[in-house]
Amino acid sequence: MDLISENLRSKQLLVVDGAMATELEKRGIDTSSDLWSATALIEAPQKITAVHRSYFEAGADVAITNTYQANVAAFERQGLNRVQSEALITQAVRCAQEARADFYASLTSKQRALRAKVPLVAGSIGPYGAYLADGSEYTGNYSLTENEYQSFHYPRLALMDKAGVDLFAIETQPNFDETRALLDLISQKFPHQTAWLSFSVKDSTHLCDGTPIAQAVQYFEQYKQVTAIGVNCLALEKVEAVIKNIKKKTNKPIIVYPNNGDQYDPHTKTWNSNQNSATFSELVPLWQAAGARLIGGCCRTTPADIADIATIEKIGLRHKK
């Protein structure tokens, strides 16, 4: 079932959640290892649940599971066995599901009427480049065979599907060949599932690996299981131009969730604060006007940013009425 379209029948904008690692760091989790935010699955899964809850409280309609960097190979590289690794991925889904259930149970019927009809848990599938932990998700500079990509991604997809995610979030994808392999795998092995597809881009017209955005979007337009398409993990100021280029090639809902404006150095794995960045409050109306229907935040964003997006959505709803 296409739950994104189901929700968009009653809402002009679906609000996606924000950064996980940033909020875990505030709660004392060290995210400097290759596992990044997935470290918390080992050390303190209850803190992941708390972060998900904070985003629902801020107005998010969609929670993205803490599995971007979590895969069986990555956990095994840290010394865990396969059974332990699989359990952690399942736990990541449970954290989001528990946060959703507890939060929505606390709402009144009037409050629920203002939220998504079907609040979603999207299972994050980061690229192979994220597993490399060297910034490759921002370059796409790696190459495997189709079978190798599919063998890498299948265990995580299967575990999250079994755990009951509402859809897959195929995100921060810099490499066209990998993304084709992923969507072919989903169509073959998970025909009942849907997914959003979110690219990592180097500019407003190209994926990080140099593939033209127009070519990539047009290619994935054929996949009925892809129920939204867009970009994430880019600077706020670059979003509008990318939306307009995507809009030319698709009738699917467009999803965007950029960083907060700070600048990332993949070599030192550190962020440099950008005090002159624009804000979500300033830019979200422009993104909506350009065609975005799902908007959230990626690295360094906070519940406050998501609350800003949700506020804009509510203002738009009042104007529509």
Instruction: Enumerate the known binding-site residues for Zn(2+).
Output: 233, 298-299
C-alpha to C-alpha distance for 139 and 233, rounded to whole angstroms: 12
Distances (CA, A) of 26 to 3, 50, 56, 59, 272: 32, 12, 18, 20, 17
| CA nearest neighbour of 279 among 256, 306, 254, 247 | 306
Binding site, by residue number, is: 233, 298-299
| Count of Cβ atoms closer than 10 Å to residue 109 Cβ | 6
Output Rg (C-alpha) for the chain, integer angstroms: 18
Q: Give rounded-to-5 percent helix, strand, coil for the chain.
A: 50, 15, 35
Residue 226 pairs in a beta bridge with 195
- Asked if residues 153 and 125 have their Cβ atoms less than 8 Å apart, the reply is yes
The stretches of the chain forming alpha helices (DSSP H) are 3-8, 21-26, 39-43, 45-58, 72-77, 82-105, 109-113, 128-132, 146-163, 176-189, 213-220, 239-247, 280-290, 303-320
Residue type, 176: F
C-alpha to C-alpha distance for 262 and 274, rounded to whole angstroms: 5
How long a stretch of residues is the chain? 321
C-alpha to C-alpha distance for 201 and 131, rounded to whole angstroms: 18
- Asked if residues 298 and 307 have their Cβ atoms less than 8 Å apart, the reply is no
C-alpha to C-alpha distance for 141 and 221, rounded to whole angstroms: 24
